[in-house]
């Protein structure tokens, strides 16, 4: 009799979980249906969004008239969604990395797992030799790799188990096409791959003195590029990690935090616990002496309590 009761209880709990999940999806699709622990969460943290000012010369939006992306547009768009068959984010280091750089990659792995609330793994590094001379060039005394080649001829061929997204991390500078000087990163929505470079994040050389600043930059660029893989467009309304960037100074100015709308987009895709993610991020930033990120997460946590 006890076994029968236990069996029925398991079935009930499983069905109840599925019902909650379906109710949640319905609520995300219909903004008139409010679930206190979810929809109200985004309304509360919206108080901490910082509206973007008018772009000035040199800013990303000064010359790019982007339309932005509403939550409804995102929800109705075609974008990747985690499944049992595809739910792991991978990092692929490309080149030769020193001890400090390897430490940053470890911290990046930890961060992405918290940020996206998905398992994240770092693959064994591959050599720069995979890039032929036709996809390389010299610029201002340093070597650059063609970002598009890394995407289509290197990363696209990598198919690790349960991959939902794959980001290459290059030690060398990147360029997207001959007329551009450089690019921080590039991503393919369709192929769920992207590549970022640490070259310009390190002010010439990564040291113990600039480690925290450079780590913050790496976290911003990487979460931004992988955000694109999950279908998020550039944010044009609030100071957000999904803002476009033209320069390192603009990257430093952009927040490491996702604004309330972009958070809602990502959460509608991955369906994680918002409060848990927020608390995990706050602990991560505090543990790694990233004051800006810690203060932003703390402000969000305060308004939801």
Q: Cα–Cα distance between 143 and 56 in angstroms, integer?
A: 31
Residue 164 CB contacts under 8 Å (≥ 6 apart), including other chains = 80, 82, 83, 86, 87, 88, 89, 118, 192
Give the residue among 283, 277, 273 at the shortest CA–CA distance from 258. 277
3-state secondary structure (DSSP) of residue 39? helix
Q: Which one of the listed residues 38, 171, 225, 282 is annotated catalytic?
A: 225
Catalytic status, residue 292:
no
Give the residue among 57, 108, 65 at the shortest CA–CA distance from 250. 57
Q: First vs last Cα of the chain: how many Å apart?
A: 44
Give the residue among 263, 242, 229, 271 at the shortest CA–CA distance from 80. 229
Backbone angles phi, psi at 236, to 5 degrees: -120, 10
Give the residue among 117, 104, 119 at the shortest CA–CA distance from 288. 104
Q: Cα–Cα distance between 184 and 302 in angstroms, integer?
A: 33
Full strand arrangement of the beta sheet holding 88-94: 119-122, 88-94, 163-170, 193-197, 185-188
Q: Cα–Cα distance between 228 and 225 in angstroms, integer?
A: 5
Helix-helix angle 291-304:211-229, to 10 degrees: 60
Residues tagged active-site: 225
């Amino acid at each position: 009799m006890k076994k029968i009761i236990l069996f029925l209880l398991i079935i009930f709990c499983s069905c109840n979980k599925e019902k909650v999940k379906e109710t949640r999806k319905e609520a995300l699709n219909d903004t008139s249906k409010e679930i206190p622990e979810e929809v109200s969460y985004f309304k509360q943290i919206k108080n901490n969004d910082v509206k973007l000012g008018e772009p000035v010369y040199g800013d990303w939006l000064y010359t790019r008239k982007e339309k932005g992306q509403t939550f409804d547009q995102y929800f109705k768009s075609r974008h990747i969604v985690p499944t049992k068959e595809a739910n792991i984010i991978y990092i692929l280091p490309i080149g030769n990395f020193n001890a400090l750089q390897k430490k940053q990659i470890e911290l990046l792995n930890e961060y992405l797992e918290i940020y996206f609330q998905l398992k994240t793994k770092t693959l064994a590094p591959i050599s720069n030799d995979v890039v032929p001379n036709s996809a390389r060039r010299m610029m201002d005394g340093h070597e650059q790799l063609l970002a598009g080649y890394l995407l289509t001829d290197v990363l696209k061929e990598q198919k690790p188990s349960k991959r939902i997204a794959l980001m290459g991390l290059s030690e060398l500078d990147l360029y997207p096409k001959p007329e551009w000087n450089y690019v921080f990163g590039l991503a393919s929505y369709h192929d769920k791959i992207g590549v970022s470079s640490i070259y310009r994040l390190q002010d010439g050389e990564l040291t113990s003195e600039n480690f925290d600043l450079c780590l913050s930059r790496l976290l911003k660029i990487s979460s931004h590029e992988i955000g694109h893989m999950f279908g998020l467009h550039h944010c044009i309304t609030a100071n957000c990690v999904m803002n476009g960037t033209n320069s390192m100074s603009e990257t430093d100015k952009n927040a490491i935090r996702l604004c309330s709308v972009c958070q809602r987009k990502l959460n509608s895709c991955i369906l994680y616990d918002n409060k848990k993610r927020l608390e995990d991020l706050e602990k991560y930033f505090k543990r790694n002496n990233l004051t800006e990120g810690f203060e932003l997460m703390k402000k969000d946590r305060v308004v939801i309590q």
